[in-house]
Amino acid sequence: MAELKERTFIAIKPDGVQRGIIGEVIKRFEMKGFKLVGMKMLHVSCVLLLHHLKSASEDLLMKHYIDLKDRPFFPTLINYMSSGPVVAMVRLGRFNHKSSKLNFTLISCVSGRRLLNIIHGSDSVESANKEISLWFKDDELVSYTSCAFSWLY
């Protein structure tokens, strides 16, 4: 049952929220059997991260995308991510970070001349754990057993 304890971080980026596809994204994860254990909507440019002793949420984005800080598109990415609300989720289940596409073919859009990936998903268990701790406090994650658990397992 260890695979049922694996967590991943998913974020619906500002364009996904603006396009009104939050429900579709949630539905696709549910259809694949991923259990929702945490979710919140926030406008990252307005949120104070008191539990991390930071004064501005831009620090959250800087930490989240630290591996991209030397890339030329980094400032644009930070501006994009702080341009509107984001829906952050923690999902539980066995997640193949390398090959799982979850059939998100419609989850992209054109903005100006750019094609945007409007959903972020952790690319490894290690990244997921880091990202979850950045975006969520422990008491924001819920532990429960689905009534269907006994039927399936």
**Helix, strand, or coil (residue 41):** strand
For the chain, how big is the Rg over CA atoms in Å? 16
SS3 content of the chain, % helix, strand, coil (to 5): 40, 20, 40
Residue 8 is encoded by which pair of tokens? Answer: 């991943």
**CA 89 to chain centroid:** 5
Residue 120 annotated in active site: yes
Strand partners for 85: 43
Annotated catalytic residue, options 43, 51, 97, 120: 120
- Give the catalytic positions in this structure: 120
